[in-house]
Amino acid sequence: MSPPPGLPGLEQRFSRLLVVPGRGADAGADRGWHVLDSGPALEDAGVPILGTILAVHGNPTWSYLWRTVVARSVDRTTVTGAWRVIAVDQLEMGFSQRTGIHRTLAQRVADLGALTDSLRLEGPVVTLGHDWGGVISLGWAIDHPDLLAGVMLLNTAVHHPEGVPIPAPLRLAGARGMLAASTVQTTAFLDTTLALASPRLGDEVRAAYRAPYRGAARRGGIGGFVADIPVDARHESFAELERIAAGTARLGVPALMLWGPRDPIFSDRYLDDLIERMPHADVHRFEGAGHLVAEDRPVADALFAWLDERLVRVPSPAPTTTAAASPDTFDPIWRGLEERADDDGTAVIDMSARGADEPLRVSWRRLNDRVRAIGAGLHAMGVKRGDRVSLLVPPGPTLSAIVYACLRIGAVVVVADAGLGVKGLTRAVRGAWPDVVIGEVPGLTAARALGWPGLRISVARLPRASAAALGVATCLADVAALGARAELPDAPGPSDPAAILFTSGSTGPAKGVAYTHGQLAALRDTLAAHFGVTGDTGLVTGFAPFALLGPALGTRSATPDMDVSAPRTLSASAVAAAVRASDARMVFLSPAAVLNVVATSAALTPADREALDRVSAFLSTGAPVGAGLLERIGALMPNASAHTPYGMTECLLVADVTLEDIRDAAAAPDRGVLVGGPIGDNRVLISALDADGRATGEPGVEPGVLGEVLVSAPHLKDHYDRLWLTDRAAERETPDAAAGAGGDGRWHRTGDIGHLDAAGRLWIEGRLPHVLVTADGPLAPVGPEQDIERADAVRRAAVVGVGPQGLRQAVAVVETTPPASRPGLADPAVTAAVRQATQTPIVAVLAVPALPTDIRHNSKIDRTRLSAWAERVLAGETTGAP
Per-residue pLDDT tens over the stretch 156-178? 999 987 766 666 666 565 565 56
**Where is 735: in which H helix or E strand?**
none
> Considering Cα of 852, then 854, then 855, then 857, what sign does the dihedral take?
negative
Whether 495 has a pLDDT exceeding 70, the answer reads yes
Give the burial class of 284: count Cβ atoms within 10 A of its Cβ; 0-12 exposed, 13-18 middle, 19 or more buried: buried
Task: Evaluate if residue 317 carries a pLDDT over 60.
Answer: no
State the Rg of the chain over Cα: 30
Tens-place pLDDT, residues 441-464: 988 998 888 888 899 999 999 999
Alpha carbon distance 653, 619 (integer Å): 11
Cα separation, 843 vs 802, in Å, equals 9
Q: Average model confidence (pLDDT) for the chain?
A: 90
DSSP string, 101-160: ----HHHHHHHHHHHHHHTT--S-EEEEE-THHHHHHHHHHHH-TTTEEEEEEES--S--
| Residue from 224, 244, 132, 118 nearest 173 by CA | 224
Amino acid at 552: A
The phi, psi pair for 841, rounded to 5°, reads -60, 125
Taken in order of first residue, the domains within the chain and their CATH numbers are 12-161+237-311 (3.40.50.1820), 168-227 (no CATH), 330-530 (3.40.50.12780), 661-769 (2.30.38.10), 771-874 (3.30.300.30)
Tens of pLDDT, residues 323-361: 444 556 789 999 999 999 999 999 999 888 654 568 889
Q: What is the pLDDT of residue 732?
A: 82
CA dihedral of residues 587, 589, 594, 598 (deg, nearest 10): -20
Q: Which residues of 447-460 are buried (b: 16+ CB within 10 A; e: fewer)?
A: beeeebbbbbbbbe
The pLDDT, as a whole number, for residue 427 is 82
- Report the pLDDT averaged over residues 284-303: 96
78: left (phi over 0), alpha (psi -120 to 50) or beta: beta
Q: Are 587 and 540 in contact (CB under 8 A)?
A: yes
- pLDDT at residue number 665: 87
Contacts of 188 (CB under 8 A, 6+ apart): 181, 182
CA distances from 68 to 50, 81, 125, 193, 242 (A): 19, 18, 19, 19, 32
Pair type for strands 412-415 and 641-643: unpaired
Residue 24: name the closest of 90, 114, 88 by CA: 114
Percent of the chain clearing pLDDT 90 (strictly above): 73
Indicate whether 508 pLDDT > 80. Answer: no
Least confident interval from 103-117, 416-430, 515-529, 710-724: 416-430
Calculate ∠ Cα 710-715-721, nearest 5°: 80
Cβ neighbours, 10 Å, residue 27: 10
Task: List, in sequence order, every beta strand (DSSP E) within 697-738.
Answer: 707-712, 719-720
Distance CA 495, CA 520 (A): 11
SS3 503: coil
pLDDT, position 738:
38
Closest CA to 194 of 184, 203, 182: 203
Whose CA is closest to 811, among 821, 823, 819? 823
287 and 261 Cβ atoms separated by less than 8 Å:
yes
Angstrom distance (rounded) from CA 17 to CA 86: 12
Q: Would you call the peptide bond into 818 cis, given omega within 30 degrees of 0 as the criterion?
A: yes
Q: Is the pLDDT of residue 53 over 60?
A: yes
**Beta pairing class for 772-774 and 777-779:** antiparallel
| pLDDT band with cut points at 50, 70 and 90 for residue 566 | confident
Beta bridge partners of 78: 81
Mean pLDDT of 123-139: 97
Q: From CA 138, how far away is CA 151, in angstroms rounded? A: 8
**What is the percentage of the chain residues whose pLDDT exceeds 70?**
92
* CA distance linking residue 83 with residue 70, whole number of Å: 9
Q: For residue 737, what pLDDT is reported? A: 45
Kindly give, in sequence order, each residue whose CB lies less than 8 Å from that of residue 262, ignoring residues fewer than 6 positions away: 198, 288, 289, 290, 291
Contact 487, 378 (CB under 8 A): no
Report residue 99 CA to chain centroid gap: 46
Residues contacting residue 740 through CB under 8 Å, at least 6 positions apart: 683, 734
Q: Which residues pair with 814 in a beta bridge?
A: 797, 847
Selection from 345, 437, 338 nearest residue 391 by Cα: 437
Q: Given this model, what pLDDT does residue 422 score?
A: 74
Does pLDDT of 592 surpass 90?
no
